[in-house]
Amino acid sequence: MTSIWLAPRPLLLASKSQARRSLLAAAGIPFEAMAAAIDERAAEAPLRAAEAGGDVIARHLAREKALAVSRDLPDRLVLGADQTLSLEGVILNKPRDREAAKAQLMAMSGRTHTLHAALCLAQDGKVVARDDEAAHLTFRPLTSDFIECYLDLAGESVLQSVGAYALEGLGIHLFESIEGAHSTILGLPMLPLLRLLREIGCVGT
- How far, in Å, CA of 161 to CA of 177, rounded? 19
Distances 88 to 12, 26, 55, 115, 138 between C-alpha atoms, Å: 34, 33, 13, 11, 12
Catalytic residue (one of 82, 97, 124, 152): 82
| Dihedral of alpha carbons 98, 165, 57, 203, sign | positive
CB-based contacts of 163: which residues, under 8 Å, 6+ apart? 85, 92, 104, 108, 113, 115
- How far, in Å, CA of 64 to CA of 62, rounded? 6
How remote is the C-alpha of 129 from its chain's centroid?
Answer: 17
What SS3 state is found at 163?
Answer: coil
| Dihedral of alpha carbons 31, 33, 39, 41, sign | positive
Q: Which DSSP symbol is given to 140?
A: P
Catalytic residue status for 145: no
Question: Which residues are marked as active site?
Answer: 82
